[in-house]
A and B are shown apart, each in its own frame.
Chain A
């Protein structure tokens, strides 16, 4: 418990640490998340296209 409080205190006293935590971490996570999300979007399923175009 004492160690945990010490770590938070230390982090809050470190302006560069706070800057990285508040900007770099979120920026990196959002960019990577967005890239993965966009790249993994599947095309329209062939079965659906056949239903629509096939006139079933």
Chain B
């Protein structure tokens, strides 16, 4: 059975009181969530989203390569293994379909990660701690990173980027 047409002129009728209450309540909830989203940067001690620079894939790769050459300690699976000193800049590049390089970090030390993509949108995700960050090409995202536990952590891509997406795995080793 088809739905009956609503009564003529329903558009101009006043909304019922409980519906008005609901609209006001829903608006307050939405505004509170929005405020919390912005406030969480401070309360949750999150990396501020405004720490980003514009760049080009060529420029970023040149900087990343220079940085890797300086702190390279070996090679693993065709990728450089980089061991940067504490409180230094670390460069990570996402490309189809790999995260470069393999990193060796020190527990408790602070690092400034510069992360960018050379081609399309990738998701920088550290497992199993479940840290996620969207990485667009053309931007250098700066994240302050301080490992608090030692061990091997996987870096994966969590934004579908093509047929090799699932093979985009790298490693961060945190030493004591």
Contacts and interface: CB of A to CB of B under 8 A. Distances in A.
Whether both chains belong to one complex is answered with yes
Contacts of A51: 89
Interface in A8-47: 8-9, 12-13, 15, 18, 41-45
Interface residues of B, number: 20
B20 A49 contact: no
Contacts of A1: none
Contacts of B54: 41-44
A44 B14 contact: no
B37 interface: no
Q: For this complex, into which size category does the number of interface residues on chain A fall?
A: 10 to 19
Main secondary structure of the interface of A (DSSP, over half): helix
Contacts of A9: 20
Nearest to A37: B50
B55 A44 contact: yes
B63 interface: yes
Contact of A44 (B15, B24, B53, B66): B53
A17 B139 CA distance: 39
Interface of A: 8-9, 12-13, 15, 18, 41-45, 48-49, 51-53, 55
25 contacts: A8-B24, A9-B20, A12-B15, A13-B15, A15-B11, A18-B23, A41-B53, A41-B139, A42-B54, A43-B55, A44-B53, A44-B54, A44-B59, A44-B63, A44-B140, A48-B89, A49-B63, A51-B89, A52-B63, A52-B66, A52-B67, A52-B89, A52-B91, A53-B63, A53-B66
